[in-house]
Amino acid sequence: MVSELIAFCTSAGKTCLTVDILNSFEYEVLNKKLSKAWHSASKDSGHAGTRDIVSIQELIEAEEEEETLLSSYTTPSKGPLKRVSSTPETPLTKRSVAARSPRQLLSPSSFSPSATPSQKYTSRTNRGEVVTTFGSAQGLSWSGRGGSGSVSLKVVGDPEPLTGSYKAMFQQLMGVRE
């Protein structure tokens, strides 16, 4: 490479070595050499040349590191699905996980617990114990400030009495059309 640089400088009539001369040498000589090497390599039958086992191993390790880094930042296309939360009242089987529709996801059973808790929850101990306290709550009175009068409520729409007992109140998606 040094002999090529000397030949380039003498052919251009330059006696001092400067950054501009090095840049033009890189552009005119080295880039042309690289493009010829790539062009001749692409004409081959796909064989990239001989490599030693160490450089091949380094290439494999570098590629594995790149794949690991890439997979840590991307969403997996296939693989285990994110586990859906389930309770003892609503256990999920593999079949029900695959068959869940958006309507099932928004049903009241997915938001509200059952009226009767599961036996697993009732068998727990230490229910309702006070673990720690801060100050005394005995004999405190609460009062408000800043109001100028009494509060009045205004009913909007017709009141609809409930005729039965409900575990949850909700509005179906198909009922909302406004």
Burial class (CB in 10 A: 0-12, 13-18, 19+), 25: buried
The CA-based diameter of the chain, rounded to the nearest angstrom, is 104
pLDDT in tens, 67-106: 887 777 776 665 555 566 666 666 666 555 545 555 556 6
pLDDT in tens, 150-164: 767 677 777 677 676
Q: How far apart are CA 113 and CA 90, in angstroms?
A: 9
Question: With contact defined as beta carbons under 8 Å apart, do 4 and 24 qualify?
Answer: no
Q: Is the pTM of this model over 0.85?
A: no
Work out the number of other CB atoms within 10 angstroms of the CB of residue 66.
10
